Amino acid sequence: MMSQDREFTGKVALVTGAGSGIGKAAALLLARKGARLAALGRTEDELQETVDQIRREGGEAISLLADIASADEMQQAYGEIRKQWGGLDIVFANAGVNGVWAPIEELEPDEWDKTININLRGTFLTVKYAIPMLKENGGSIIITASVNGTRIFSNTGATAYSTTKAGQLAFTKMAALELAKHRIRVNVVCPGAIETQIEDSTEKRDLESAKEPVEFPEGKIPLTDGKPGTSEQVAELVAFLASEKASHITGTPIWIDGAESLLMG
């Protein structure tokens, strides 16, 4: 099932959170378009499934078991990529958690820290340790943020999560300017409601008491009459941003949410 459009032939791509959801969809699509794929994550069996599927379809892939919030583990992962393929062209910094959603006064400091560590420190480390290889030939970095913290602020309790997503947007813009001279582009995708398993990583506590009353019309996603988007739709956007078609786009957020955030913001 390899794509006719092999625009990433000869390229090496790293996808974090590649075991499920948006990460898996992007890993499969980039591989179908010819990229050699390093699938990174914390869940070994899921990662292996992604790698096995790519190989079954005739692609090349390796799995890297690592915690994006660990500097040592991320350095080792990039060492593996260099050893295996000698370089790197595309980084999709996608891994993250929703974490605990609770009113600020009830959110425990260690719960705050965990979300910040994985989502923000993890993004920083993923990008930081990729730069030496990306500098060699230029490349593309794509970061997964969210409509939360960038356009939507009415999801009560999502303070830590939204803060990390706003931080990723600022980080993208800073990195885009700093890395432009090395021909490294940095962009950020902001998905709305997408059918993935990230809800599994969310713990919500006592949110009703803190909620502001907001009335929405029927169907919170205007473009689809309330139906969430798919991981594959986000993967197509990631592939576009990684490609030469987006060669003049950097430092740019793209919301992919069927106008949900315009209604809810």
Please list the active-site residues: 161
DSSP readout, 11-78?
-EEEEESTTSHHHHHHHHHHHHTT-EEEEEES-HHHHHHHHHHHHHTT--EEEEE--TT-HHHHHHHH
d(CA 92, CA 123): 10
Beta strands across the sheet bearing 90-93: 61-65, 36-41, 12-16, 90-93, 139-144, 184-191, 253-256
Tell me how far CA of residue 140 lies from CA of 12, 163, 192, 234, in angstroms.
Answer: 11, 24, 23, 16
d(CA 211, CA 105): 14
The SS3 assignment for 119 reads helix
Burial bucket for residue 5 (CB in 10 Å: 0-12, 13-18, 19+): exposed
Hey, what are 207's tokens? 């949110």
d(CA 117, CA 80): 23
Q: Which residue is it, tokens 């050699």?
A: 36
